[in-house]
Amino acid sequence: MAEAFRPRPVYIADSFMLPVGKYDGRHREKRNFFQTLEAVHALLDGAAVKREKIDCVVVGSQNPFAFSGVDNVAAKAAGVLGISGAKSLLVDTASSSGASAFEAAYMEIASGRHENVLAIGIQKMSDVDTGAATRIVAGVIDREEAEFGLTMPACGALVAGALMDEFGLGPEDWTDFSARLTARAQHFAAKNPLAHLDYEIPVEQYYADIENGKNYLYYDPLRYYDFCPMSDGVGACLLTSSPQEVVVAGVGSGTDIPTIADRRTFTTFPATVIAQRYALGMAGLKDLGELEGKVHINMHDPFNGFGPINMADLGVVPRERLLEGLLDERLTGEWGRYPTNLTGGLKGRGHPLGATGMIQIVENHQMVRAGRFKAGLSHSIGGPINNNVVILVEQTRHLEKRNPVPYRPDSLPALSRLKPAGVTLESVFAKKSRVAARLVAQTSRHDYKSGDPTRTLLLFAAPVGKEEYRFLIGLDPAARETLVHLSPGEKLLLERVDQEIRVNDVPIRRFYRRTLEGIMELADTAKRRLRRNHRE
């Protein structure tokens, strides 16, 4: 622990959220971006802090111009809500934008600059079709990796595959594990009237829908029920320097390198660990154990596999017990030591990108204010797991009673290194036509009707000079037949034949527009069909 850090206390005067879903006139009433924003009037109309006393508005939203055709969003938000004249800021840290907006709003007051700040997280994903949404979301990924076919669902699949490898899970083991994670998320979402997917998916249904084709393989090993839906939503918190029932005890954020290929492991997210340590340091907590039985955890679980890793990174379970955490009711269940995602998480409640981080805080604030918990910890992931935020809110009396001593963390995880600019796939050969490499990971996207692979992503390590570097490439679908039997660590043969590069005699194939179009359309179609079948 290093020197003390003592910002000015910041409190939450009130909070608000709309039900999560699609405001497209079908799932929920039709609203455009600003009509969604106007819902925040419900917060301001009844708030103890009057509009004229609000000094600043901070809006979090992921690429709102691309999604909704709106720019200068924060100033327009101030106008729509009747608080023009206040300072206005737009924050975009991809899918953690809502949490980052809250952190920015907190700093405005903690620094002494302002007394009352409105923080908003908003996303209107359904303003564009799903193909366009796919292209927008893919903008957070490294361009070269995207050209080979990397998408956010593919990132989720690589993480899941890494868990399988590290913990020795076979395909059947993973399916059983994933079915139980989905059933858990939907169990809590079914109890949440504000959730997007507000119904159960029991383990038996998960398996039955594999047989009938509804829960089909998407990016192996993940199936469609293993992904969160595309959602619309808005949440807001009114922060103030005036004492209230709930105080912001700690905030923290951290980043990781932008590329996926260069990361040495996928089973821990260093940006989460960094953010958590800063938040706990500010709150004067050595770990979450000091809040055992008193805190609700709202963590970022867009794909099955992320949740278990989050529980280890947040310090709820030791890494060797990572797979057990979310499925142990005594630990993370409603009455467990660390109740987690009791509103359904991203997979059940929904994931309106830039609004999600704010909605997590709103849910925690309202549970703490109601006396259900003494504290609430929210965890939000931005981009390809590289812009993460942790926020801890706490009952003011509880914080005062424990009399915390804030500190700056002095031990943070080391990050992987980016490849030097001159190290490219072509440089692997350096006047050689054949190079020995080793497999790190692989995943394939599958056609939802036939089940056939439509593209394969391969992550391998190869020497360049005296160093070993990792590369991500896209292969022809036929590659899966020749590579699927290989395990991480096994040898590969890279060959240059004329201007073509081959892996175990399979040609490499680059994708960009073709890959990025239609991916989310397939996933989203599955979610719509599931809702339709549920109603029937």
**DSSP states of 87-117 as a string?**
EEEEE-BTBTHHHHHHHHHHHHHHTTS-SEE
- Quote the strand ranges of 137-276, DSSP E: 217-219, 222-223, 232-240, 246-255
pLDDT at residue 509 in the model: 66
pLDDT digits (tens, 9 = 90+) for 272-300: 999 999 999 999 999 999 999 999 999 99
pLDDT at residue 503 in the model: 86
Question: Which pTM does this prediction carry?
Answer: 0.93
How does strand 506-507 pair with strand 500-503? antiparallel
pLDDT at residue 147 in the model: 84
- Quote the strand ranges of 327-374, DSSP E: none
Helix (H, G, I), strand (E, B) or coil at 227: strand
pLDDT at residue 496 in the model: 84
pLDDT at residue 135 in the model: 79
Tokens of 20: 């999560």
Residue type (1 letter), 448: Y
CA angle (220, 221, 227) in 5-degree steps: 90
Q: How far apart are CA 126 and CA 35, in angstroms?
A: 13
How does strand 491-497 pair with strand 500-503? antiparallel
| Residues of the chain under the 70 pLDDT cut | 1-5, 509-536
pLDDT at residue 137 in the model: 86
What b-and-e string marks burial along 395-429, b requiring 16 or more CB atoms within 10 Å of the CB? bbebbeebebebbebeeeeebeeebeeebebeebb
pLDDT digits (tens, 9 = 90+) for 442-467: 999 999 889 999 889 999 999 999 99
> What's CA 63's distance to the chain center, in Å?
16
